[in-house]
Amino acid sequence: MRTLLVYPQYPDTFWSFKHALRFISKKAAYPPTGLLTVAAMLPGDWEKRVVDLNVRNLSDSDIDWADMVLVSAMLVQDTSAREVIRRSKEKGKTVVAGGPAFTSQPESYPEVDHLVLNEAETTLPLFLQDLEKGTPERIYSSQERPALDRTPVPDWSLIDMRNYASMAIQYSRGCPYQCEFCDIVIMNGRRPRTKSPEQMIKELETLYNAGWRGSLFIVDDNFIGNKRKVKKMLASLKEWQAEHDYPFVLFTEASVELADDQELMDLMRWSNFNKVFLGLETPNKESLQECGKSQNSSRDLVQAVETIHRNGMLVMGGFIVGFDNDNESIFESQIRFIQQSGVVTAMVGLLGALPRTRLWERLQKEGRLLHAPTGENTDGSLNFIPRMGTEPLLAGYRDIVSTIYSPKYYYQRIETFLKSYRPTSRSRINRHDIIALLRSIWRIGIFSRSAPWFWKVLIKTAVTKTRALPEVVELSIFGHHFQRIYKRCRNP
């Protein structure tokens, strides 16, 4: 069986880093780790070819070569996924699809021959068994939450790592919280399942032996969902990193109570983590309670961010406006909250209702649901009728992003971040870093309206906190990207 595994293209989004990647001559931020894991589950005698449309185009010869086309996608990749499916069907190919986009709304893809939904460790073997017998069904689904010891190491041989800014692996699935707007518990459940320390070290060894050095994203829903197990894994990870002279600089996603656990922050710092993404959402306590985000509503979020910064990890944050308890004062409150927190990488999005979430069900019952979401909450679109009204919400949203990503406000946040940040990560300066610095000086320091603020922060950091200089250069480049992403919201 000649199998073509296709990863659809991401639109130009906050997390695509499309405009930042040009500074380091990379084609995509992250590899299609899920698709590479699926590839490792396919029979060993099958011929496999991966085409990541974020790296290169899908040619007619690619499709002609294949007996079967496998597509995996998230909601935000829907447009590209549909184009891949259309082209493959026009050439008479069998199309198999899975991943979050197809699992959340399988009825939207009638042209797909076989839908392998939910978690592949459970449903893919059933499809392969039936395929071998010549009796494959159209839909395979399961509510089983498989143990992750059944998950193989991704088949890294199918990609060229040089195309990517970072590699990505998974440690756990699931999250103990149940935020109304989030589909994590729908996809992966509330009981976090983890890989063993030995399994994680094996994956790291595989990446290390494949020649990768540098950034590594642990793509978990909530990395600290099971604190007891993650601490045990981190104890092994910090030893492995030290023995190998810290080849990887890691970052992940977590819940905000990370700031409460000094032992956990120490272990992450010693394991060479330098960033963590937190869903901070809003300073409005009523809105936090509305969406079930109790872990945020009971604490000082600005203080939590500062604590994590002091422990050597830069906080990236997600923020949302459009909750029922938001009124028109929320826009100024969000701006003030973001600026005070020193969260430089602040992803501000409009609330969106994802299929099958509690928010989706509630809005549907209230007659306020409009259509399926785009999966991209920074594109300035709404798929429900907000309490405050559509026009005030969109206007206020545009005001937030035009303010916080203006050069003055953006570089002020970098300075706020630097006041509490104590850099601890170990990394090697390579030629891509030197190229990025030179290009940032050229594009931002000379030909950008951010130039005065860029030079002020760069020089001050070089003099007073030299170890933080790589972070300042990176954040400056990210700002270049974010300004272009949010420009479409400012000019609808």
For residues 272 and 246, the answer to whether their CB atoms sit within 8 Å is yes
**Nearest partner of 370 among 381, 379, 356, 357, judged by Cα:** 381
- Mean per-residue pLDDT for 49-60? 98
Assess whether pLDDT exceeds 90 at residue 296: yes
pLDDT grade for 492, boundaries at 50, 70 and 90 = very low
Q: Tokens for 137?
A: 């069904």
- Provide the token pair at 328: 């028109």
Dihedrals phi, psi of 152, to nearest 5 degrees: -80, 165
Query: How many CB atoms lie under 10 A from the CB of residue 59?
Result: 10
- Radius of gyration of the chain, Cα coordinates, nearest whole angstrom: 22
Q: Looking up tokens 């509330």, which residue turns up?
A: 190
E strands, 357-445, in order: none
φ/ψ of 92, rounded to 5, equals: 75, 25
Taking residues 185-210, report their average pLDDT: 96
Confidence of residue 486 (pLDDT cuts 50, 70, 90): confident
Average pLDDT value over all residues in the chain: 96
The predicted structure's pLDDT at residue 148: 97
Q: How confident is the model at residue 345 (pLDDT cuts 50, 70, 90)?
A: very high
* Helix H or strand E encompassing 457: helix 451-464
Give the residue from 145, 142, 139 showing the smallest Cα distance to 108: 139
pLDDT band of 62, cuts 50, 70, 90: very high
pLDDT of 198 strictly over 60: yes
Q: Write out the DSSP string of 198-267.
A: HHHHHHHHHHHHTT--EEEEE--S-TTSSHHHHHHHHHHHHHHHHHTT--EEEEEEE-GGGGG-HHHHHH
- Dihedral sign, Cα of residue 297, residue 303, residue 307, residue 313: positive
Average pLDDT over residues 233-257: 98
Strand blocks (E) in 102-213: 114-116, 139-140, 167-169, 172-173, 193-194
Q: What is the pLDDT of residue 171?
A: 98
Distance between CA atoms of 75 and 59, rounded to whole angstroms? 23
pTM: predicted TM-score of the whole model, two decimal places: 0.95
pLDDT tens for residues 260-282?
999 999 999 999 999 999 999 99
Span 240-258, average pLDDT: 97
Per-residue tokens: 221: 């829903």
Work out the pLDDT band at 83, boundaries 50, 70, 90: very high
The pLDDT confidence band at residue 427, using thresholds 50, 70 and 90, is confident
CA separation (Å) from 221 to 70, 84, 269?
A: 24, 28, 20
pLDDT mean over 82-102: 98
Beta partners for residue 137, in sequence order: none
Q: What is the pLDDT of residue 425?
A: 92
Q: How far apart are CA 205 and CA 164, in angstroms?
A: 19
pLDDT value, residue 376: 84
What residues contact 419, with CB distance under 8 A and at least 6 apart? 342
> By CB neighbour count within 10 A (0-12 exposed, 13-18 middle, 19+ buried), where does 272 fall?
buried
Distances (CA, A) of 364 to 192, 367, 373, 435: 29, 5, 13, 51
Q: How confident is the model at residue 388 (pLDDT cuts 50, 70, 90)?
A: very high
Pick from 191, 195, 175: which is nearest to 183 by CA? 175
What is the Cα–Cα distance from 425 to 251, expressed in whole angstroms? Answer: 11
Q: Name every residue whose Cβ is closer than 8 Å to that of residue 158 and which is 6 or more positions away in sequence.
A: 5, 36, 39, 48, 49, 50
With CA atoms as reference, report the closest residue to 424 among 258, 345, 310.
310
Write the DSSP symbol of residue 141: -
Hey, CA dihedral for 211, 212, 214, 218, is it positive or negative?
Answer: negative
Residue whose token pair is 């509305």: 290
Q: What is the C-alpha to C-alpha distance for residues 55 and 117, in angstroms, rounded to an integer?
A: 26
Q: How confident is the model at residue 380 (pLDDT cuts 50, 70, 90)?
A: confident
Q: How far apart are the C-alpha atoms of 458 and 463, rounded to whole Å?
A: 9
The answer to whether the Cα torsion of 377, 378, 381, 382 is positive or negative is: positive
Residues of the chain with pLDDT > 70, as a percent, come to: 99
Average pLDDT over residues 383-391: 96
- Sign of the CA dihedral running 155, 170, 211, 251: positive
Share of the chain above pLDDT 90, in %: 93
Per-residue confidence (pLDDT) for residue 488, from 0 to 100 = 66
- Could you tell me the pLDDT band of residue 127, with boundaries at 50, 70 and 90? very high
**194 beta partners:** 172
Partners of 348 in beta bridges: 319
